[in-house]
Chain A
Amino acid sequence: MNNARSAVPGFAIAIAVLIAGLLLALTVGRYPVSLGDLLSVLTAKLWGHRADVAPAVESVIFQVRGPRVIAAMLVGAALAVAGTAFQGLFRNPLVSPDILGASSGAALGAVLGIYLSLGVFAIQAIAFVGGLIAVAIVYVIGAAVRSRDPILVLVLTGVVVGSLFGAGVGLVKYLADPYNQLPAMTFWLLGSLSATGIADLLPLFGPVALGTAVLVALRWRMNVMSLPEEEARALGVATGPLRIAIVAAATLVTSASVATAGIIGWVGLVVPHLARSLVGPDFARLLPAAAILGGGYLLLIDTLARTMAQVEIPLGILTAVIGTPFFIWLLASVQKNWS
């Protein structure tokens, strides 16, 4: 009961970050929109009458920035939720969604789609399938190798399979048309939301909502799943099926966001930590907090990527610049805090 009360400031901060991210993302840019204009456009939309502003303002907010803002929120929330789930499941605060090969599998699918000159929707679908195939391979190998430490086997298998899929990506890039296809692949692999339109939102929203709903529904069991295997079973949790359900849900949201926005690393590592420092490690509060904070975090990063320079900076580069020092700091401090 005490804990529930003490989590309120943490949630307030996460929500404040999200609101700040939303306001900045909708107003800042090559065509600046004033806060007053934004509010009048939004309230007008809400009440269903026409706003008293230039039509260009409305179009910037709803057509140009709106879809991108929603996509950034969804992708950020998805990566953060998946990272939180993987960290709990693998009992390791240094784990991120890339760990089971989901990202590299999805990446291979997407570059293959670009190479075969497929349409946008087909590229998304094939990326998604690639992610699921990679995780399935990791899981089958991990289950087949007998070991005292199945988690370690799974993580190492993920690294190995991930590097194999990475080699596949390299091969496709090598074969690709260097004038038309290669730049598209490179741009996509670095992570970007600049090409996101309204049509991209549904294939992103569906899987993210489904996977997140499953993870949030299981949030109380995830506390127990973060204990050593035998303890969890002695507490009455069928760890095998539950682990498959959590991995599948987390892979689903990761693949969907990779298919839409390319590879955006580090969000799934950094945000769960920030959320944990805000509301504590209890998954019942951590998962929703990570989702909110992840949405706000990627909105801020994406706004930075849009506005920092004359050309757009790929998202993956910005998140890596923030994530790498964070990881090193974590590695140095993790000894005293977690073990």
Chain B
Amino acid sequence: MILEGDQLTIGYPDRVVGAALDVRLETGEVLALLGPNGGGKTTLLKTLLGLLPPRAGEVRIDGAALSSRSIRERARLIAYVPQTHVATFAFTVEAVVLMGRTAHGDLFARPTAQDRMVAASMLDRLGIAALADRPYTMISGGERQLVLLARALAQEPQFIVLDEPTANLDFGNQGKVMREIRALAASGLGVLFTTHDPNHALRAADRAYLLRGGERIAEGPTKEILTQARLEALYGAPVRVITDASGTAFVPG
């Protein structure tokens, strides 16, 4: 399947954030969205998720307008992993993941045995089955990120959109989330994530999309797109490149 934004003008009722944006994401590939703060990354994500209507242009899935689908149908196609937050109520991890099954039942539906099985298998897939009965408020930030990812997987979507999945995570958990993103794409999902670290894009993404001031600076295969010159232009700051036999890494200069 293909999720695409066609000539999108994105923004809120009182202000336009970006214009003339084309985005394209196929199942099985990973697209990284990079750019400075306030550049329109989150607005673009919300527009692609159907949470924010585009001011102009259209978001489509396999050629059909996303807005023509019901909110439940959309949730079965695209899942959203928000930045980790602290929840108001101390739901158990299992209850949080079960909420991912919402779009598979009607308004009054209670979770079925099938829903519980899917939730359990997603927890298992991410290696956090042991957390099932723990309160979501009492686990670490890295574990919460994985729980939200399990919830998104429980939606059984075609695409997963992650908003800065590595923000607020320690070094080890950042690596774990990057590995999971690769594994998701390998299992056939289309993955879109935003990040502040070009190295994460380099490692996990097939293609990169550079967004600055609501404008697309460049888009294409990660290794071609992420160059010192482009990153310096993107962030308006010096960038150093370190290369050795095992690969390339970018360091803020």
Contact = CB atoms under 8 A, between A and B. Distances in A.
A93 interface: yes
Contacts of A337: 90, 137
Nearest to B151: A235
A282 B87 CA distance: 13
A339 interface: yes
Interface in B83-103: 85-92, 94-95, 99-100, 102-103
Interface in A146-180: 146
Interface string A69-101: 000000000000000000010011100000000
B97 to A, nearest CB: 11
B89 A226 contact: yes
B110 A284 contact: yes
B76 A226 contact: no
A2 interface: yes
Contacts of A93: 88-89
Interface stretch (B53-61, B67-75, B171-179, B209-217): B67-75
Contacts of A1: 116
Contacts of B80: 230-231, 234
A233 B102 contact: no
Contact of B90 (A227, A236, A281): A281
B5 to A, nearest CB: 17
A310 interface: no
Interface string B14-35: 1000000000000000000000
Interface in A228-279: 228, 230-231, 233-238, 242, 276
Contact of A281 (B76, B89, B100): B89
B90 A218 contact: no
Nearest to B71: A238
Interface in A22-48: none
A49 to B, nearest CB: 43
22 contacts: A2-B132, A146-B13, A218-B108, A220-B108, A220-B111, A221-B102, A221-B108, A226-B89, A230-B80, A230-B82, A231-B80, A234-B75, A234-B79, A234-B80, A235-B99, A235-B102, A236-B71, A236-B76, A236-B103, A237-B102, A280-B90, A338-B89
Contacts of A224: 99, 102
Interface string A189-226: 00000000000000000000000000001101101101
B46 interface: yes
Nearest to B99: A224
A223 B95 contact: yes
Given A235-B75, A280-B91, 14 more contacts: A2-B132, A88-B89, A91-B88, A93-B89, A223-B95, A231-B80, A234-B51, A235-B100, A236-B102, A281-B90, A282-B92, A337-B137, A338-B88, A338-B89
Tell me which of A88, A224, A226, A234 has the highest count of chain B C-beta atoms within 10 A of its own C-beta. Answer: A234
Contacts of B85: 228
Nearest to A276: B89
B91 A281 contact: yes
Given A282-B95, A339-B86, A233 B133 contact: no
A148 to B, nearest CB: 9
A3 interface: yes
A280 B46 contact: no
B108 to A, nearest CB: 5
Given A1-B116, A220-B108, A223-B99, A236 B88 contact: no
Contacts of B88: 91-93, 226, 338-339
A230 B103 contact: no
Give the most central of A93, A226, A231: most B CB within 10 Å. Answer: A231
Contacts of B103: 235-236
B107 interface: yes
A223 B96 CA distance: 9
Would you list the 7 A-B pairs with minimal beta carbon distance, nearest first? A236-B103, A236-B75, A234-B80, A281-B89, A236-B72, A91-B88, A235-B102
B155 interface: yes
Contacts of B130: none
